[in-house]
Chains A and B, each alone.
Chain A
Amino acid sequence: MAEQTVDTVRQVVADTFGIDLDDVTMETSPETVEAWESMSHLNLVMSLESRFGVSFDPDDIPELVTVDAIVAKIDSLGS
């Protein structure tokens, strides 16, 4: 798991939901972040796609709900 990917994902998550970077862990999810709802999830997905130059499979998008899962998916896309 690339360190750089983890840091960047945490940063995008923090910026998208307006929370402190320090509060974003690998387990951060809609359970722990109030602002993480369906529309802001789409914003997060678009930000990640533009930051990493990837396009997620629609079937995977609903699964990208922890930092851990996002990092794993991006790594598997070879970015």
Chain B
Amino acid sequence: MDVDRAGLIRRHRQGTYQDWVRLTVADSTNTRADIEDAISSGDHALARRLVRRMWEQDPTAATATTVNAMLKKLPEDPSASSMKIFFLRSFTIEPALGPLEAAAACHGIRAESMVGEFNAHVQEIIDADSRLYSSEPDVIVLAIQSRDLVPGIYLDFADKTAEQIAEIVRDAVGSFRQWLDMVRTRTQAHVIIHNLECPEFPVVSPMDGQDPHGQQAAIRDLNRSLVEIASEYQGVHVLDYDSLVARHGRSRWHDHRKWLTMRMPLAADSLVPLAGEWLRFLVAIAGRSSKCLVCDLDNTMWGGIIGEDGINGIDLGVEYPGAAYQQFQRAVLDLYQQGVIIAICSKNNMDDAMEVIRDHDGMILKEPHFASMRINWQDKVQNLREIAEELNIGIDSLAFIDDNPVEREMVREMLPEVTVIDVDPSDPIGHARAVRENPMFSRVSLSDDDRRRGQMYAEQRQRKDLQTSSSSMEDYYRSLEMVADIGLVDDARLARVAQLTQKTNQLNMTTRRYSEQQIQDFASADDSHVYWINVKDRFGDNGVVGVMILLDRGDTWEFDTFLMSCRVIGRTVETAMLATVVEHARAAGATKLAGSFMPTKKNPPAQAIYESHGFKKISESSEEVRWELDMTTTSIDPPDWITRNTSKGEFLHG
């Protein structure tokens, strides 16, 4: 196809639909020239989008080199999260860092990697002055190979007795524990530990597979213990390196020649999968995981076009190609079970589409799984905006999957913060993989709230219906029959409380992000208190929806953090929270309650809360507005339509 690409890109910026079509359909082999063109013309958004496309179309070590070279010519992406990652390693890991940086940049993370010396992880962990700690990393990766950590099992297994092997396993487990203890006394960085891989060829083959004292059994014992140890610490995660190697192919993962000559064990084709696995952790740790997957219907959810083929003509069922679409739906259902919200955005007649969703036997996903449905002829960009608004989540929490390249390209251009997932309608077998492989749905912890989230959004729809039918707001509040449990943070709620500080953007006064370890530190200090609030109503349990961290300065109690999930926005829950704190602060002898509002792009909804509860403005700058409540003259009445269980006895001063 002979296209005037420069002209196309120029008109593309002016944004006519036909040009989108042509640019999308036109061959993309010349992406590099397009990127350079976009950079030199100053269109950085277009350049970033094309860089991303280049990576997605050919994610290899060579492309990573090009992507990183292009990114160096661009100013820093202001919307990206910065992360410093320190690698403790026993092998040459450097060639995987380029692919990590490229993949991370294409997923909104500016990854800066630092590497420790060869096999020096023990010294670096022990030495409080080592670069490991002085570089203040956000994440530490501990990548030690089996052959280096347990050579007695990996290399010289044959001459060992069962007792000797058990002792090697015990020693290795002890080492991990010691290292983690030491790391945790010095830094609160997240730690990602590679578990140990099994050898490509077990010594006694094929019998090793059925030998409880075999070589692989010993490594799996060690890996099981590693999982147990990791669970004893906050922010320590196990990367299942053994499964990663197996998934990719144990015989293809390594390059033995480079190992023996350069201590580089990985084949060129293994670098990107390894980087991708690291990225899964980084996305979740940075709090950038997508909260909602918005699915197209025709040729995405089922094969064919419902408006043309009719309910009996589309492909969806146990036979191929319908089976491929069922696999896709199962992958989406798996996300739903982990708390990802599922929505629909489709150009169709509502009735045609709903007939399939409600009545087609082949549907794995059912109507209640969908938190929002936009089935109309409006453009998808507008629909996506409305879905985000309806669900009360940021546009950047959306992922969008569609088989139509034109729709995807429009969304990429108009809503660059949305994660766009490509699927190819001519190969529906790839649909499920596209969802399962995507790092934007990764999680490093799964709370009960996560598991219930889909259901909670369905309950939210019912609450909206009630609000519409209520005669006044007060009438609505009363009919909700709200019960608020308020308490000080305990082990069971630590993860959720930390998660709320990491994820809450809108009703968040100071937007301070904390790890579980940091929350634990606040909780165990004498002069700070971490409160949570759990709200139930007649439709269900909203879970833990609010966090307050108070610094006790004697006469004054000060909010370090005051946040509330959007799930309970507009239901006076913040008043119940503030009233409780006032009661407790007074009981402890304080006379003033102070707090700051630190504006961000996303937290205008929180701006008026202090003022509307009687706080007076003390000072104001562009970064911070300080508020104070004089508790000797001003009270905050708890709303009488919320039943509060604060079980005072368990509280602070007795």
Contacts and interface: CB of A to CB of B under 8 A. Distances in A.
Interface of A: 11-12, 14-16, 18, 39, 42-43, 46-51, 55, 57-58, 61
B424 interface: no
Contact of A61 (B60, B261, B267): B261
B69 A18 contact: yes
Contact of A39 (B72, B94, B268): B94
A57 B257 contact: yes
Interface of B: 60-62, 64-66, 68-69, 72, 92, 94-95, 98, 255, 257-258, 260-262, 264, 267-269, 271
Contact of B94 (A11, A14, A16, A42): A42
Nearest to B95: A46
Contact of B66 (A11, A49, A57): A11
A50 B257 contact: no
A51 B268 CA distance: 9
Nearest to B261: A58
A61 B261 CA distance: 10
Contacts of B264: 42
Contacts of B269: 50
Contacts of B72: 18
Given A47-B61, A58-B262, 12 more contacts: A15-B68, A16-B69, A42-B92, A42-B262, A42-B264, A46-B61, A47-B62, A47-B98, A50-B268, A58-B257, A58-B258, A58-B261
A47 B62 CA distance: 4
Contact of A43 (B60, B94, B257, B261): B94
A55 B69 CA distance: 24
Contact of B271 (A39, A46, A48): A46
B261 A12 contact: no
A55 B271 contact: no
A48 B66 CA distance: 12
Nearest to B260: A58
Nearest to B272: A50
Contacts of B261: 58, 61
A51 to B, nearest CB: 4
A11 B69 CA distance: 11
Nearest to A40: B94
A57 B65 CA distance: 22
Nearest to B70: A15
A41 to B, nearest CB: 10
B95 A43 contact: yes
A76 B195 CA distance: 40
Contacts of A50: 60-62, 268-269, 271
A12 B62 contact: yes
Contacts of B271: 46, 50
A52 to B, nearest CB: 8
A18 B66 CA distance: 9
Contacts of B92: 42
A61 B271 CA distance: 19
A16 B98 CA distance: 10
B262 A15 contact: no
Contacts of A58: 257-258, 260-262
Nearest to A55: B255
Nearest to B66: A15
Contact of A16 (B65, B257, B268): B65
B17 to A, nearest CB: 34
B82 to A, nearest CB: 21
A39 B68 CA distance: 17
Contacts of A39: 94
Contacts of B64: 47
A51 B62 contact: yes
21 contacts: A11-B66, A12-B62, A12-B65, A15-B68, A15-B69, A16-B69, A42-B94, A43-B65, A43-B95, A47-B61, A47-B62, A49-B61, A50-B62, A50-B268, A50-B269, A50-B271, A51-B62, A57-B257, A58-B257, A58-B260, A61-B262
B69 A51 contact: no
A16 B67 CA distance: 10
B65 A55 contact: no
- Among B61, B260, B267, B269: residue with most chain A CB under 10 A: B61
A62 B566 CA distance: 59
Contacts of A18: 69, 72
Nearest to A51: B62
Given A50-B269, A51-B62, A43 B98 contact: yes
A48 B268 CA distance: 9
Contacts of B255: 55
A4 to B, nearest CB: 12
A-B interface, 7 closest residue pairs, ranked by CB to CB distance from nearest: A51-B62, A58-B261, A49-B268, A15-B69, A50-B61, A50-B268, A46-B95
Nearest to A49: B268
B64, B95, B261, B264, most chain A CB atoms within 10 A: B95
Contacts of A48: 62
A61 to B, nearest CB: 7
A50 B98 CA distance: 13
A39 B260 CA distance: 16
Nearest to B98: A43
A23 to B, nearest CB: 13
A5 B356 CA distance: 52
A15 B35 CA distance: 14
Contacts of B98: 43, 47
Contacts of B262: 42, 58, 61
A12 to B, nearest CB: 6
A69 to B, nearest CB: 18
A59 B66 CA distance: 27
A12 B255 CA distance: 21
B415 to A, nearest CB: 30
A11 B264 CA distance: 24
A39 B269 CA distance: 18
A50 B95 CA distance: 12
Contacts of A15: 65-66, 68-69
Contacts of B65: 12, 15-16, 43, 47
A50 B94 CA distance: 15
